[in-house]
Chains A and B, each alone.
Chain A
Amino acid sequence: MNNKKIRVLIAKPGLDGHERGARIIAYGLRDAGFEVIYTGLRQSPEQIVSAALQEDVDVIGLSILSGAHLSLTQKVVDQLKSKKAEDILLIVGGVIPEQDVASLKEMGVAGVFTAGSAVSQVAGFISESVAC
Chain B
Amino acid sequence: MQASWETLLDGVKKGNERSLARIITLVENRENGWKDAMKRLYPLGGKAKIIGVTGSPGAGKSTLTNSIARELVSRGRTVGIIAVDPSSPFSGGALLGDRLRMRDAVNLPEIFIRSMATRGALGGLCQGARDVSRILDAFGKDVILIETVGVGQDEVEVVKTADLVMVVCVPGQGDGIQALKAGIMEIADLYVVNKADREGAHEVAADIGGMLDIASEGSGPRPPILKTSAINYQGVRELVDVLVHGFDAGKNRADWRALRIKEEILSLMESEILHYLQDKWDRTGDLDKAIHQILKQQTDPYSAADSLLPLMREAFGIKETT
Contact = CB atoms under 8 A, between A and B. Distances in A.
Interface of A: 1-5, 7, 26-27, 29-41, 47, 50-51, 53-56, 83-85
A37 B99 contact: yes
A4 B100 contact: no
A24 to B, nearest CB: 12
Contact of A36 (B21, B92, B94, B114): B94
A54 B113 contact: yes
Contacts, number: 89
Contacts of B88: 30-31
B169 to A, nearest CB: 25
Interface stretch (B24-32, B42-50, B249-257): B24-32
Interface stretch (B115-123, B194-202, B258-266): B115-123
B112 interface: yes
A34 B18 contact: no
Contacts of B288: none
B186 to A, nearest CB: 31
Contacts of A37: 96-97, 99, 115
Interface string B59-98: 0000000000000000000000000000110111111110
B100 A39 contact: yes
B107 interface: yes
B92 A40 contact: no
> Which 4 interchain pairs have the tightest Cβ spacing?
A40-B100, A56-B21, A30-B93, A56-B25
Given A30-B95, A33-B92, 17 more contacts: A2-B29, A31-B90, A31-B91, A33-B91, A36-B95, A37-B96, A38-B95, A38-B96, A38-B97, A38-B100, A39-B106, A50-B106, A51-B113, A54-B113, A55-B114, A56-B25, A84-B18
B275 interface: yes
B17 interface: yes
Contacts of B92: 5, 33
Contacts of A26: 95
Contacts of A55: 21, 96, 99, 113-115
A27 B94 CA distance: 9
Contacts of A30: 88, 91, 93-95
A3 B121 CA distance: 8
Contact of B18 (A1, A27, A83): A83
A99 B99 CA distance: 34
Contacts of B119: 3, 5
A54 B17 contact: yes
A59 B100 CA distance: 18
Contacts of B22: 56
Nearest to A27: B95
Interface string B259-279: 000000000000000010001
A113 to B, nearest CB: 18
Interface centre among A3, A39, A50 (most CB of B within 10 A): A3
A123 B88 CA distance: 16
A53 B29 contact: no
Contacts of A41: 100
7 contacts: A32-B93, A38-B96, A38-B99, A51-B106, A53-B17, A55-B113, A55-B115
Contacts of A38: 95-97, 99-100
Contacts of A4: 29, 31
Contacts of B99: 37-39, 51, 55
B100 to A, nearest CB: 4
Nearest to A123: B93
Contacts of B96: 35-38, 55
Contact of B28 (A3, A32, A33): A3
A40 B17 CA distance: 23
Given A5-B117, A51-B106, A54-B113, A36 B93 contact: yes
Contact of A54 (B28, B95, B114): B114
Interface string B1-36: 000000000000000011001101100111100000
Contacts of B87: 35
B56 to A, nearest CB: 21
A55 B18 CA distance: 9
